[in-house]
A and B are shown apart, each in its own frame.
Chain A
Amino acid sequence: ETGVTQTPRHLVMGMTNKKSLKCEQHLGHNAMYWYKQSAKKPLELMFVYSLEERVENNSVPSRFSPECPNSSHLFLHLHTLQPEDSALYLCASSQDDSGLSPPQYFGPGTRLTVL
Chain B
Amino acid sequence: TQLLEQSPQFLSIQEGENLTVYCNSSSVFSSLQWYRQEPGEGPVLLVTVVTGGEVKKLKRLTFQFGDARKDSSLHITAAQPGDTGLYLCAGHMEYGNKLVFGAGTILRVKS
Binding site for B on A (CB under 8 A): 2, 4, 40-43, 45, 56, 90-92, 96, 101, 103-109
Contact = CB atoms under 8 A, between A and B. Distances in A.
Given A43-B88, A45-B98, A103 B48 contact: yes
A42 B42 contact: no
Interface in B83-107: 88, 90, 92, 97-104
A50 to B, nearest CB: 10
B73 interface: no
Contacts of B44: 2, 106
Contacts, number: 48
Contacts of B102: 42
Contacts of B4: 42
Contacts of B35: 106
Contact of A90 (B30, B42, B92, B100): B42
Given A42-B2, A42-B4, A43-B88, A104 B45 contact: yes
A90 B99 CA distance: 14
